[in-house]
Amino acid sequence: MTPEWIIVIEQVQSHYVDQYANWVEAQMQREGPNSPEVAFQLQSESALFGNLARVDFVQNASGRSEVVPFWPDYALNFEPVSGQMGEAQIHIEPFVWSQAVITIEGARWEGVVLDPWFNDWFGLESGREAQAAPGQPGGMIHSVSISEDSLHVDFGSAPPECLIELVELAERGGASRLAISNDSAGEEAAGRKS
């Protein structure tokens, strides 16, 4: 039987990515050429993992490129759930797939080997970008920033397995408890609440 916390992750992902895919389809109808999930590398140091980020959409019209952010019309609301992954307890509160905060106790994210996970899900080594159908989301994360015990992740169009693998990595890295919640700072910066 699938644990309830995994079912919740699947529902949150589907709820967000379905809206995102429909939005991308509508954006592709605009004057272009246009592209979803365009990767950028920042030239100066930033809080972003690898100084890399993907933007939701780039519209190219009249010789100008414009980054167009996606904001879901509504967020999935659910009662908090708890569960277990190996030795780690997991607690999930309502969150938006693009504004997740994963906090761990008993370990630090710097001690968790994130490079292979990031490189795979960002599309650096997996070829996800090349595998995506033109004008369609490609199953990739958009950004990750790290602090001592918190990871802020825009999961973009990544499948639920992306977050489940991250939970497994944290547990193997010594986390005794993981909490998944929403990045309220991201909501405030966007000028909206879920």
> Residues 100, 179: contact at Cβ < 8 Å?
no
* pLDDT tens column, 100-144: 999 998 877 776 788 899 999 998 876 666 566 777 888 999 999
Q: Has residue 83 got a pLDDT over 70?
A: yes
Strand partners, 65: 60
* pLDDT tens column, 37-59: 999 998 888 889 989 999 999 99
Query: Average pLDDT in the 161-184 region?
Result: 92
Q: Where are the domains of the chain?
A: 4-190
Beta strands in the chain (DSSP E): 34-41, 52-61, 64-67, 81-85, 88-92, 100-105, 143-146, 150-154, 177-182
Q: Look at residue 190 in the predicted model and tell me its pLDDT.
A: 38
Helix (H, G, I), strand (E, B) or coil at 100: strand
> Residues 148, 109: contact at Cβ < 8 Å?
yes
Q: Is the dihedral of CA 107, 110, 113, 116 positive or negative?
A: positive
Q: Look at residue 46 in the predicted model and tell me its pLDDT.
A: 84
Q: Has residue 61 got a pLDDT over 60?
A: yes
Q: Look at residue 155 in the predicted model and tell me its pLDDT.
A: 98
